[in-house]
Amino acid sequence: MREVKFWQIKPEIRILGVDDGPFEPRSKGEVPLVGVVFRGGRWLDGVLKTRIKQDGTDVTKRLIDMVNRSRHRGQLRVLMVDGVTFAGFNVLDAKEVFRKTGLPIIVISRELPDMMNIREAIKHLPRWRDRWRIIKRLGKIYPVRTKSRGVPIYMQLVGIKRADAESVVKLSSTRSLVPEPLRVAHLIATAIVRGESYGKA
């Protein structure tokens, strides 16, 4: 799979950050998936929302549709997601998203993903081998230090070179250890479900 060539990473590069809301008893098996369009780490340009099924297999299609239908589509340059498991173990096929949207993807994790734990957790789900294959083929995990003091966070990449991804992650982590598009997507998705957001950072 080829990589997108970035001639230059502009400080106001349009990033779509995506996160899901938490479960609640009243969620009825669905949670919101929220995308926020950020200019670099500074300005929120737009908000997108769709819904995905708890432990379902629809997140890949829902995200592709949300991106391709958006009026921001033409401006977007890169996608960031908080891990690849949404709404429980609804697994995002990042390579498929790249194929269908043309947008490279940076998968962010605050901790090194514990692959064996994930494997155990998904083994009771329908089509678990498909889910596992998607998670495994994501490939190499790179640390990236967003603040000169502080622990690194981790990224996995589809369609973007490590150096380019590092620039995007660093320039967009203006406020906390994680990129603003993800921090804000998390706040909004949580508020939609709970009525108030609870930050992780």
Question: Contact residues for a copy of itself (CB under 8 A)?
Answer: 34, 43-50, 66, 69-71, 175, 184, 187-188, 190-192, 195-197, 199
Nearest approach in angstroms of CB 46 to a copy of itself is 5
For residue 182, the SS3 value is helix
What is the distance between the alpha carbons of residues 34 and 20, in angstroms, rounded to a whole number?
A: 6
Nearest approach in angstroms of CB 66 to a copy of itself is 8
6 contacts: CB under 8 Å, gap ≥ 6: 77, 160, 161, 164
Nearest approach in angstroms of CB 22 to a copy of itself is 13
22/46 with CB nearer a copy of itself:
46
Torsions phi, psi of 181, nearest 5? -60, -30
Residue at 91: amino acid letter: V
For residue 180, the SS3 value is helix
Nearest approach in angstroms of CB 159 to a copy of itself is 24
